[in-house]
Amino acid sequence: MRPLLPILLLAACAAPSRQAVQLAGDWRRSPPPDAAIAGHAIDCAVADRACVTLLTFRGAACARLGRDDCALDSLRRAAALMPADATPDERAEVALRLADAHERRRDRATGAARGAENAAILAALAPLRDGPAAGLAGHYEAGVALNRAQSGDTPPAARCAALLAARDAASRAADVPGLPPLADRIPQRRAAIAAGLALTPECR
């Protein structure tokens, strides 16, 4: 009977705790205040929907509270624990929230840190490019192109082409039912790109 012990231990490690499953269901039905969610330590390390739900809720709550490190840590863990049978919408929500958290930190960064955040945004968007949320990915990709042009990371000779590509990507952005809405942020980004084009001599 001894060989059964490792198998039983493996099975136990491959499933979330009963408490995690219960808590994920409770949060879906009636989410607590953001501060309570953000202050909850998520001791979950299983590629399972319950763990991903808890970490996504915590990442979103931390983001709304302006706690960038907490948001990024939770959402990175959610992405890493995404189960193989996750739906496109489940993958897209985590990817969008992760890209958004990196964008918010990017907007307060400078130099090499800003460049690293732009790269992290693009990496986070990888699960979205071939799915129904590709337009939302375009919103963030356009933001990266605009930021690189405005900060001087894009060489002057390539700036006009980069901004035109950003305009095209932003033009396809649209909210997707069931995913975090961008609402007025979409027209704001389009307006910022249009202003960037107007101020770029190479585009005149």
CA distance 157 to 154: 8
Name the nearest CA neighbour of 36 among 64, 9, 15: 64
Own/partner long-range contacts of 151-160 (Cβ < 8 Å, ≥24 apart):
151/114, 153/114, 153/115, 153/118, 156/202, 157/202, 159/200, 159/202, 159/203, 160/197, 160/200, 160/202, 160/203
* Whether 57 contacts 39, CB under 8 Å: no
* Whether 74 contacts 59, CB under 8 Å: yes
Query: What is the tens place of the pLDDT at every residue in 46-99?
Result: 899 999 999 999 999 999 999 999 999 999 999 999 999 998 889 999 999 999
DSSP H helices, the chain, are 4-13, 18-29, 34-38, 49-64, 68-80, 88-106, 111-124, 134-151, 156-171, 185-198
Mean pLDDT of 101-129: 94
State the pLDDT at residue 169. 93
Query: What is the tens place of the pLDDT at every residue in 35-47?
Result: 999 999 998 888 9
* Whether 202 contacts 157, CB under 8 Å: yes
In three-state secondary structure terms, 48 is coil
Residue 132 burial (10 A CB sphere; 0-12, 13-18, 19+): middle
Q: List the chain domain ranges.
A: 19-86, 88-204
pLDDT beyond 70 at 12: no
Residue with token string 């990709």 = 141
CA distance 49 to 53: 6
State the pLDDT at residue 204. 74
